[in-house]
Structures are given as C-alpha cells and as structure tokens.
C-alpha cells in the first residue's frame, strides 16, 4: 500500500452537498446486516428512484427517525384537522354527528396518502414528482369520498362551498408540509456523522456507476473512498461522466486498509468467473466488521423487470419476468375491466350500427376472428369488425397496405378511425387482452419474426393490448421492412421493462389524438 492510498481517504470524494437536486437513481438491493460479514446481492438497473432497503446510518439518529416519522403522519393529520376545523366552524344546527366523515377521511388518508416508497427513496425523488404523486392520490381520495357518499345517500350537514374549500385548500397544505419536511429530513439525514465510508473491489462499469450515484446523492449517506483493483490505472476504463475516485491499491491491500481506516461498507464487483477470489476476500475480511455487498455485472445483460428475492431461503435474481405480480396485476386488471365496460356501454349503439352496416354492404360475417399469441405465447382468438372481403388466418398473409384491394369501402373508413378494433374490448373483458400492451400479431407473423428479431417473444411476458407504446410512438399499421418491426418490438420491450399504471394511462391519453393524425391506418 502506498501513501497515496492513505491520503485518498482523507480527501476522498464526499457526497453531494445538501439540497442538491435529486436525479435518476437506479438500484436494487436486498437487505444486509449493518455489522459483520453479511454478503448480499445488489442489482443495478431496476426501478427509477427505488432503494429497496432503508439506508443504515453510521450512527443511528433519533432526530432523523423522528423527522421521517413525522413526515409519514403529516398527511392524515392535515386532512383530518382541516376538515375538523371547517366543520366546527361552518356546521349547521342539524345536530348530526360529524365524527363519521372525519374518521372516514382519516382512514382514507392513512391508506392513500402515505409515501409510496421508503423514506430514502422518497428523499431521492424530484420535488415535481413528489407533488404529482401527492396530487394524484388526493384526487383518488376525493373520488372515493364521492363514491361512498353517493352509495350511502349521505348529505353533508354543511355548505358545499366549505367542502370545495377543503378539497382545494388541503392539497396545498399537504404539498407545503411534505416538501418542508423533506427538506428538514435531508438536512438531518445528510449530517457528516451519518455517512458510512465505502470502498469498491473491482473497477468496472457497475462499480463506477454506483460510486457516481453515491457521490451525487448525499441522501444515501455513502462516502466513497476509492477502488481496489489488481490492474494498473492505465488499464482501467472510466465511464463517460463517471466516477473519478482513485485507485487505492490491489486486492491484497484491502484487508489492512479496511482495518486501518474503519471502512463501513465494501462493494465487491468482480466478474462471476473470479468467484474463487470473492471467496478468498470473504475469508480475508472475516476479521473486520465491514458490511459486504456483491454487485453482479448485469449491465452486460438485457434485463426485463429485474429484481431480487428468495425462495424458501434460497436467494434468486429475476433477470426476465412479468411486471404484473401481486397487487400490480390486480390493479391493471381492475382498470381494464372498469374502462372496457364503460366504453362498451357508451359505444353500444354505435357498435350495433357498425355491425348492421357491415352486414348490409358486403357478404360475410360481421366479426373477423383471428388467431394471435397472447400472454406467455399462448394462442388466443381476437375479434375485430370485418373490414376485408377475405378472412385470412392461414400460415401466411400480407399485412394491409395503402389502397389494398381486399379492404371494403366501409372497412377503409373503419380502419382509418380504428373503429374495427372496438370488439377487442370483449377480449379485454375475457382476460385475453388488456387495454394497453404490445399489439398482438398474427400467428403466422409471430412464427416468422421470432426467428429474425432478438428477444421477440419477450413481448409476450405481458397481455397484448388494443393500443401500446409502439403505436403512440408512430409504429402503427404496416411494417414493410424488418427494421420497422424491430423498432416496434424495441418499444414493446421498453413498455415491459418500465410498466406502471401511470404509463398505461399516459398511453391511453396519447392514443386519442393519434386516431386523428395517423397516416398508417389503411
């Protein structure tokens, strides 16, 4: 170990200054012990602003814990206290108890207005996104109150302008309180005594990526000291805009350095082919109290919904999985059922008129049934209004093209405005499709393209949709060139990788104007 390594600890890179604006942080980790040799897996490249465990401060701060607890309790308290104050001030002399509405609001606020992430992840999230999330959950709370009031025939015993004032004024107080408490929490959490000293074993893309994030975000309370690698500095590649932390020495220098400088956390980022060296490091570090993390080099892989977990005590890393697990799948299914049912009820007269017009203007069935691939590549049958003189569903057929002679006059109109797709709402109710997802291709097309496009079948990790990210990005209709289908599949995989309910709603809203400005529907 040379003197430069020791001096680097004294002037090593520090986390960003307090109040620095949070930026995108991608990270995934499983909890590990604060002391002792607890080796766990940390997986980069997962959800935005997500930190799957609370940061362990070097010294547990009672003040920090109280601040974060106050933040969690603020929203329900503000909602109930503002309503209580208004009702006591403006209530009529009806003699009706006001406790019921206040209790209901408090319960809904506790359920809906709690932070959706853990405290550390919330502090990393940009203020604009915090405000947007809070406002959307407030709208849901108001909608539930209206629905409950309508279902129970409840009429509040105070003027409607009081209700409107509460509905409009309370979110402003919530925003001010949340942002204010977040700023206080940052200042409390980001005290130097809370920082944990960190070194990395192995200088590669993964370790530099994480080190750069640590240096940028003081909320993570990680002070990076440098890297250990047996290669010379000249052989190490630096990421563009990446970390500039110094090389502190070789792997053999690590144990002595950790003891001498009381290093708190060690991130081991060696390739799996060097697993023997990882074992040797674990043995050598057995005489320290440093926490150990292993960083698998996953940046070389194309991960889909990556996450970590365990099965009966065996740790696993999901490298390719559906995003619709647990509550997330239930939420998407509920949204599909509600919106599909509402649209079918509203559009029923128009759909009947279209069916009659198809029957009257051309020979053949009203509905065109075609085999497609659905969730997990299982074959399904989808419905569309028939727009062609033929009903092809064989080993191969040509996609519809401009001035296609197979398309009927009425069919051209239906396809131009995507009215032929409405029967697929029945497929949504059946569970074969979703409102949003990768568009299902004909079986014949699937079998051809799965041999030509890498990861083509991964798009079937989610249910097919009536509209999708690729469609709103301009890849709708005919794909005459392979590069067009590759671009469509790329957007489909991006959707699978980054799915959220908000993304689904955004795509639905973006689909509406596309119906009026698309030149590819023919």
Give pLDDT, residue 5: 44
> 521 in a domain, yes or no?
no
Residues in the chain: 522
What is the residue-level pLDDT of the chain in tens, covering all 522 positions? 444 444 444 443 333 333 333 333 333 333 333 333 333 334 444 344 555 554 555 555 566 667 767 877 888 899 989 888 887 777 555 545 567 788 888 888 888 887 766 666 777 778 888 898 899 889 989 988 888 888 888 777 667 778 888 899 999 999 999 899 888 878 877 777 778 899 999 988 888 888 988 888 888 888 899 999 988 777 776 655 555 668 899 999 999 999 999 898 999 998 877 888 888 898 889 888 888 888 877 666 677 877 777 777 777 778 888 898 778 888 899 999 999 999 999 999 999 999 999 999 988 899 999 889 999 989 999 999 999 876 665 555 566 666 677 888 898 889 888 899 999 999 999 999 999 999 998 888 888 899 999 999 999 999 999 999 999 998 887 778 899 999 999 999 999 999 999 999 999 999 988 876 655 655
Whether residues 384 and 243 share a domain: the answer is no
Rounded distance between C-alpha atoms, residue 388 and residue 412, angstroms: 9
Where is the domain boundary, 282, 297, 318? 318
Does 519 fall in a domain? no
425 burial level (CB within 10 Å; 0-12, 13-18, 19+): buried
Residue 467: partners with Cβ closer than 8 Å, 6 or more residues away: 435, 436, 439, 507, 508, 511
Same domain, 54 and 123: no
Q: Are residues 375 and 466 in the same domain?
A: yes
Q: Is residue 443 part of a domain?
A: yes
Please indicate, yes or no, if residue 475 is contained in any of the structural domains.
yes
State how far the Cα of 270 lies from the Cα of 438, in Å rounded to an integer.
37
Please state the domain count of the chain.
Answer: 3
Are residues 443 and 466 part of one domain? yes
With respect to residue 444, please indicate whether it lies within any of the assigned structural domains.
yes
Same domain flag for 227 and 333: no
Q: For residue 508, what pLDDT is reported?
A: 95
Same domain, 307 and 331: no
- Cβ(236)–Cβ(247) under 8 Å? yes
Q: Are 217 and 186 in contact (CB under 8 A)?
A: no
| Range list of H helices, 99-231 | 99-112, 119-124, 127-152, 160-189, 205-216
Domain match, 284 and 389 both: no
Range of the domain at 287: 3-61+191-318
**Residue 482 forms part of a structural domain:** yes
Domain-embedded: residue 364: yes
183 and 234: one domain? no
Of 129, 164, 189, which residue constitutes the final position of a domain? 189
Do 54 and 117 share a domain, yes or no?
no
- Provide the pLDDT for residue 49: 52
520 within a domain of the structure (yes/no): no
Domain boundary among 260, 294, 318: 318
Instruction: Output the pLDDT for position 429.
Output: 96
Predicted local confidence at residue 240, as pLDDT: 53
- The whole model's pTM is what? 0.64
Does residue 75 share a domain with residue 171? yes
Q: Based on the domain organization, do 183 and 233 belong to the same domain?
A: no
Q: Could you tell me if 380 and 508 lie in one domain?
A: yes
């Amino acid at each position: 170990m040379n003197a430069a390594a020791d001096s680097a600890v004294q002037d090593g890179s520090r986390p960003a200054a307090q109040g620095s604006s949070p930026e995108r942080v991608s990270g995934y980790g499983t909890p590990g012990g604060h002391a002792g040799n607890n080796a766990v897996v940390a997986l980069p490249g997962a959800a935005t602003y997500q930190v799957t465990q609370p940061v362990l401060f070097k010294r547990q701060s009672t003040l920090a814990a109280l601040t974060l607890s106050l933040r969690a309790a603020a929203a329900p308290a503000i909602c109930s206290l503002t309503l209580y104050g208004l009702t006591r001030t403006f209530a009529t002399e009806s003699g009706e108890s006001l406790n019921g509405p206040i209790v209901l609001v408090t319960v809904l606020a506790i359920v809906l207005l709690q932070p959706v992430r853990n405290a550390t992840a919330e502090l990393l999230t940009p203020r604009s996104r915090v405000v947007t999330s809070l406002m959307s959950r407030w709208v849901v709370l108001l909608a539930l109150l209206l629905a409950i009031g309508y279902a129970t025939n409840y009429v509040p015993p105070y003027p409607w302008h009081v209700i409107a004032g509460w509905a409009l004024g309370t979110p402003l107080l919530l925003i001010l309180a949340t942002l204010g408490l977040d700023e206080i929490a940052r200042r409390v959490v980001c005290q130097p005594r809370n920082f944990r000293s960190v070194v990395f074993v192995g200088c590669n893309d993964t370790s530099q990526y994480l080190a750069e994030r640590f240096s940028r975000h003081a909320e993570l309370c990680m002070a990076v000291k440098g890297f250990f690698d047996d290669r010379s500095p000249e052989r190490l590649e630096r990421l563009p805009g990446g970390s500039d932390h110094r090389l502190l020495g070789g792997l053999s220098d690590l144990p002595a350095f950790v003891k001498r400088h009381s290093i708190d956390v060690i991130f081991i980022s060696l390739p799996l082919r060097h697993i023997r060296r990882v074992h040797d490091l674990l043995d050598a570090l057995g005489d320290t109290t440093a926490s150990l993390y292993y960083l698998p080099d996953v940046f070389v892989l194309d991960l889909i919904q990556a996450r970590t977990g365990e099965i009966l005590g065996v740790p696993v890393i999901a490298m390719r999985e559906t995003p619709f697990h647990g509550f997330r799948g239930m939420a998407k299914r509920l949204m599909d059922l509600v919106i599909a049912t509402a649209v079918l009820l509203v559009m029923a007269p128009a759909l009947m008129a279209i069916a009659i017009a198809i029957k009257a203007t051309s020979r053949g069935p009203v509905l065109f049934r075609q085999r497609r691939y659905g969730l997990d590549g299982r074959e399904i049958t989808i419905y569309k209004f028939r727009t062609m003189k033929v009903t092809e569903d064989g080993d191969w057929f040509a996609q519809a093209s401009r001035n296609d002679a197979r398309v009927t006059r009425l069919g051209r109109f239906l396809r131009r405005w995507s009215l032929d797709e409405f029967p697929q709402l029945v497929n949504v109710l059946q569970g074969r499709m979703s409102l949003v997802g990768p568009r299902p291709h004909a079986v014949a097309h699937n079998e051809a393209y799965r041999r030509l496009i890498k990861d083509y079948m991964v798009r079937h990790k989610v249910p097919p949709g009536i509209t999708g990210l690729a469609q709103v990005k301009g890849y709708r209709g005919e794909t005459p060139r392979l590069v067009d289908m590759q671009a469509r599949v790329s957007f489909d995989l991006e959707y699978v990788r980054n799915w959220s309910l908000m993304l689904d709603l955004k795509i639905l809203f973006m689909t509406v104007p596309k119906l009026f400005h698309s030149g590819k529907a023919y």
